Structure formats: structure tokens, C-alpha cells
Amino acid sequence: MSIRRPADDRATRARAINAARTTSELEGGRSTEVTRADQDAYVRGEIDIDQLGDRVRARYNIA
């Protein structure tokens, strides 16, 4: 199911993902390509933040 949101929401989501990626990189890490693809889907509005979290937790077996 695709969730479409206004463009200004997209900018807000992009800033949040960029901040998360930067923080991860400053700590010496980097998200996997699959996680980055999920993050990009969130930025585009194809999934919401809960779905993004669910995907990441499921991928890494985080409760």
C-alpha cells in the first residue's frame, strides 16, 4: 500500500533520514543497502515511520 504525502512532508522526512544516516556514520556505522532502500521508500512516502521501524526490527531480529 502506498501512502502519498505532500512534498513538504517529504522534505521533513528526508532531513530526518539524512540526520539518522549522519549520526550513524559519525559513530562509525553505515546502514545496509536494504535498510537505505527502506529509508528512501519512507522519504518518498511509500511507507510510514512505523513500517520503516517494523522492517528494520524484523531484519535485525530486534524486539
Residue 41 located in a structural domain: yes
Total number of domains in the chain? 1
Residue 24 located in a structural domain: yes
Residue 1 located in a structural domain: no
Q: How far apart are CA 1 and CA 61, in angstroms?
A: 24
| Model-wide pTM > 0.85 | no
Give the tens place of pLDDT for each residue, 41-52. Answer: 999 999 999 999
Residue 28 located in a structural domain: yes
Q: How far apart are CA 7 and CA 35, in angstroms?
A: 22
Q: How far apart are CA 9 and CA 55, in angstroms?
A: 21
Residue 37 located in a structural domain: yes
* CA dihedral for 22, 33, 29, 43, sign (positive or negative): positive
Given this model, what pLDDT does residue 63 score?
Answer: 83
The range of the structural domain enclosing residue 31 comes to 7-59
Residue 39 located in a structural domain: yes
